[in-house]
Amino acid sequence: MHALLDLLRQPARSSADLAQRLHVSQQTGSRWLSQLRKDGLVAKNKEYAPTAAGRVYFSGLSSGSNRIVGTLFRGVGEGKYYLSKKGYQRQFQPLLGFTPFPGTMNLRLSENASLASSAQLRQKPGRPLVGFTETNRTYGGARCYPCRIGQKAAGAIIVPDRTHYPQDVVEVLAPVFLRKHLRLKDGDVVELQLD
């Protein structure tokens, strides 16, 4: 979905060009283009660009929904590590109006409409979390997008500039431990309403 949306905005000269724009590896960009071509949604003449079928397919998905639905899963614990860094911590309150619980809630998206909404969201500038250097290590930036979680809690989707998660995963910040606050467990379906 993300690749198709990006190609709708601007055709790509190569898989490396697309990968660089989407902040993924060249191999991932190549795999996405291969699948889109196989599905008849993208063709290559001089550049990779959506076919008529690709434009129709995406327009059917992108109804302007501000809703993202995903299945909760346990991450590897890196969110807690990064959120504990003072270089990030001092930015959250002015940026989001809260200091996040040390950890992210991870959702895997599977609905086409949610994948399309996530792809559209990632094309927006969001609220920038600025990268920094601490003890000779560089920490990358991110973008944050305020949301409501299950109509019961305020939070924000965080999209790091560098991540090991694929594009079908959304990470969510909140001022509370969401699993406890909303009584959630792995496999539960969670709805986010974008502000």
Q: What percent of the chain has a predicted confidence (pLDDT) above 90? A: 45
Spell out the domains of the chain, with CATH numbers in brackets.
2-61 (1.10.10.10), 67-194 (2.40.30.30)
Single pTM value for the model: 0.69
CA atoms within 13 A on the CB side of 164: 5
Predicted confidence band of residue 56 (pLDDT cuts 50, 70, 90): low
Digit-coded pLDDT (tens) for 149-186: 987 899 999 999 888 888 889 999 999 999 999 999 99
Q: Of the candidates 141, 127, 68, which has an alpha carbon nearest to the alpha carbon of residue 97?
A: 127
Confidence (pLDDT) at 42: 87
> Between 125 and 175, whose confidence is greater?
175
Average the pLDDT over each of 34-38, 69-73, 134-138 and give the range with the smallest value: 34-38
Per the CB < 8 A criterion, the answer to whether 190 and 70 are in contact is yes
Cβ contacts of residue 132 below 8 Å, gap of 6+?
85, 87, 88, 138, 139
Per the CB < 8 A criterion, the answer to whether 22 and 6 are in contact is yes
| Secondary element (H or E) of residue 190 | strand 189-194
- The region that residue 150 occupies, defined by phi over 0 for left and psi between -120 and 50 for alpha, beta otherwise, is left
- In this structure, what token pair is assigned to residue 34? 């291969």
